[in-house]
Amino acid sequence: MPLRSTATARQERLGAELRKMREAAGITARDTARLLGTDPAKVSHIEAGRLGVSEERLRRLAAFYECGDTALIDALVIMANSQGRKGWWETYRGVVPAGLLDIAELEHHATRLRTIQITHIPGVFQTEDYTRTVFGYAIPQLPDNELEARVAQRMERSGVLYRETAPPYEALIHEAALRMRFGGGKVARAQLEHIQELSHLPHISVRVIPFAADGHIGSGHAMLYASGPVRPLDTVQIDSAHGISFLHAAPHLANYRVLYNTLAEVALDQSRSRDFIRDISQDL
């Protein structure tokens, strides 16, 4: 398999899981290279996601590392076998930041999605006008062609909500995000009406964290929690001033599950949330 110049977040994740498996077994990269009849540099490339791995090699490695988690191994095999298939997001490679493509791929493969949003509407819930306004605020300002590409890519991302096998999507949205008037009253009102429509889909849950809620001050921040086919393959995506980050260390995953559950306890139920969003929309 040829060496990749850059690896996607999913390719890096597959390599990272193989590295964790090897390190848990106390086996060196040099010993692994001997098993595969190659050199340690290639093992390093596999574990960095820069070099693909076949199903046969992956299963050999898992046996060598004495990993007994068959569900995890099978899930990694599926990841490895899908590496050569290009998703719709690849159309935008080189046009929009790679991190945005990684989010789309993460959502595509997730078995369940949960998000917390404090100041913005969740990306896959956004209307085209709302999205264009948000990206229009970028500093430095985006060229028109890049702005339109980002809007188009985000609109295509929302397709994950309408697939025949769409994953359950649960959103906790702070009142602050609902009251932000991105694009003015007309755009903001249309955005809230769109959220209300989505909230009636059977696999989508929208719940509001009102300003009046107690017990979450200082603990809430935006994140996307994507469940994998097995819990060790869950991923948390967060935004920061330095870009998009993906977390998958077990302590991080556990902390974000606690965070989500903590905020869910103070959020309004789905019915009251719909009424709450409707009231805000009528005030715009």
CA atoms of 181 and 14, how far apart (whole Å): 40
Average pLDDT, the chain: 95
Name the residue ranges covered by the structural domains of the chain: 9-81, 88-283
Give the residue-averaged pLDDT of 43-70: 96
Give the residue-averaged pLDDT of 142-155: 97
What is the predicted pLDDT for the residue at 186? 97
Per-residue three-class SS string for 240-275? ECCEEEEECCHHHHHHHHHHHHHHHHHCCCHHHHHH
What is the predicted pLDDT for the residue at 242? 77
Q: 227-231: long-range contacts (C-beta < 8 A, 24 or more apart)?
A: 227/110, 227/111, 227/112, 227/113, 227/114, 227/167, 228/75, 228/109, 228/110, 228/111, 229/71, 229/75, 229/78, 229/111, 230/69, 230/71, 230/72, 230/75
- Scan for tokens 């605020």, then name that residue: 137
Q: Is the pLDDT of residue 198 over 70?
A: yes
Give the residue-averaged pLDDT of 163-174: 97
Structure-model confidence comparison of residues 38 and 242, the more confident one: 38
- How is the beta sheet containing 235-240 ordered, strand by strand? 204-209, 169-174, 112-117, 223-227, 235-240, 243-247
Q: What is the pLDDT of residues 238-255, one digit of tens each?
A: 987 778 999 999 999 999
Sign, CA dihedral 255-256-262-263, equals positive
Listed in sequence order, the residues at least 6 apart from 210 whose beta carbon sits closer than 8 Å to its beta carbon are 175, 268, 276
The hierarchical CATH code for the domain 88-283 is 3.30.870
Nearest to 97 by CA among 252, 242, 249: 242
In the structure, what pLDDT confidence band is assigned to residue 146 with cuts at 50, 70 and 90?
very high
Q: Which CATH number fits domain 9-81: 1.20.1630.10, 3.10.20.30, 1.10.260.40, 3.30.413.10?
A: 1.10.260.40
In the structure, what pLDDT confidence band is assigned to residue 139 with cuts at 50, 70 and 90?
confident
Give the residue-averaged pLDDT of 218-224: 80
Q: Is the pLDDT of residue 218 over 80?
A: no
Q: Is the pLDDT of residue 145 over 60?
A: yes
What is the predicted pLDDT for the residue at 216? 61
CA atoms of 171 and 260, how far apart (whole Å): 10
In the structure, what pLDDT confidence band is assigned to residue 87 with cuts at 50, 70 and 90?
very high
